[in-house]
Chain A
């Protein structure tokens, strides 16, 4: 960019996180409340970097048990087997539904991992004051917000199998502890993405240009 971008913060305005109204804050330290909707105003989401890191790390820790522990146990007259997320994907692939296996592989295994890596990348670049690829990083953030919810697919699938297959002793499906960790990962990454503030991506280049003036 050739000229210094005029942002709300650089011009002394704050936009409301709830209703979007642009207003003059009560003070630089305590911006006060939005005159239209009464929401507490913030120039940037509070402690965005620390909060997002905390959630990303917690989700990362849950990711391991979520993939190692079994999610469901299927009991029939002659057999009893437990399935993890991965073995469920392999089963689907082996029984010929390779397209569903692919959907599950992407939704359950790859999306959470991609989300965690993307958030870590955004956090690190913001903390190092990176000024490059701003537009791409902004796009990455928006993409992450959209795809995150699809990771819940396996938890929904497990819930319906558990709810439907109650033909004891012929056949029954019971939930296993992996389900809890897995939904934990999904929730934590969704909240992590929400606590990050994409405006931080642009703030570093703002500082650079201001000192250059």
Chain B
């Protein structure tokens, strides 16, 4: 096969050189040495991911605006949003923890969705400008610190604890958060960073015409 093709990669986990075979739709290729997934074929990834990202953006807004849960005890009531929890933490002196929670539950997911939408829109006319490359790096970092699903379990835990002493009412926000978790997971798994990178304009003008090692082993393919 071609010796200058972009389908020769080094496994990110063990550095083994391998060729990505032609994948059947939905199929994945795994490193034959360490077993890491090195590529997945995602037909129609651009359109599907765009739709999911728009839906995730809406769910994100509702999650952050609406109360997550309410509490009533002896005729008195209270409710909180994510921002409310963060604000109370800050007010009561745990400023670093407040910032971390804001980062994991609000800022990181917001950047993850926002950056991805910007990337997807600019990929429609390849070659995409170089800043798309910078965003591609940031969307990965934002995704690794976005912990909406962990937050959900945390809310569930405090809900069960509080239910023993007061009446707890789930708010609209918590249902939106449930939807957001599913949408974020679907969005990340339908996005194909390899495809995206292949549409980005190169920093150096030489372009992809560089001699790469030919042959090597083939990554092992497996169906979905």
Contact = CB atoms under 8 A, between A and B. Distances in A.
A160 to B, nearest CB: 5
B89 interface: yes
B86 interface: yes
Given A161-B158, A164-B158, A202 B200 contact: no
Given A9-B15, A179-B97, A153 B153 contact: yes
A61 interface: no
A138 B35 contact: yes
B210 A23 contact: yes
A35 B86 CA distance: 42
A180 B213 contact: no
B17 A6 contact: yes
Interface in A81-104: 88, 91-92, 95, 97, 100, 103-104
Interface residues of B, number: 76
Contact of B161 (A39, A157, A194): A157
A112 to B, nearest CB: 14
B17 A13 contact: yes
Interface in A111-163: 134-135, 138-139, 141-142, 149-150, 152-163
Interface stretch (B41-49, B70-78, B113-121, B180-188): B70-78
Contact of B9 (A20, A91, A167, A175): A20
A39 B137 contact: yes
A110 to B, nearest CB: 15
A91 to B, nearest CB: 8
B216 interface: yes
Chain A's interface size range is 35 or more
A28 interface: no
SS of B interface (majority): mixed
Contacts of A8: 10, 15, 17
Interface in B1-48: 6, 8-10, 12-17, 33-36
A171 B74 CA distance: 10
Contact of B96 (A95, A97, A180, A198): A180
Given A37-B133, A180-B97, A171 B160 contact: no
B76 to A, nearest CB: 5
Contacts of A183: 96-97, 100
Interface in A19-53: 19-24, 33-39
Interface in B151-198: 151, 153-158, 160-162, 164-166, 193-194, 197
A202 B97 contact: no
B98 to A, nearest CB: 8
A207 B197 CA distance: 33
Most interface-central of A107, A139, A156, A201 (chain B CB within 10 A): A156
A163 B101 CA distance: 12
Contacts of A187: 100
B99 to A, nearest CB: 10
A166 B17 contact: no
A164 B80 contact: yes
Most interface-central of B33, B104, B158, B165 (chain A CB within 10 A): B158
25 contacts: A6-B217, A7-B14, A7-B16, A11-B17, A13-B10, A19-B133, A19-B137, A20-B12, A20-B193, A22-B213, A134-B14, A135-B33, A142-B13, A149-B147, A152-B147, A152-B154, A156-B147, A156-B150, A157-B161, A160-B158, A164-B84, A165-B162, A174-B92, A194-B144, A202-B34
A-B pairs, top 7 by smallest CB distance, nearest first, are: A156-B154, A163-B85, A8-B10, A163-B80, A15-B10, A38-B203, A7-B15
Interface of A: 1, 5-9, 11, 13, 15, 17-24, 33-39, 88, 91-92, 95, 97, 100, 103-104, 107, 134-135, 138-139, 141-142, 149-150, 152-167, 170-171, 174-175, 179-180, 183, 187, 194, 198-199, 201-203
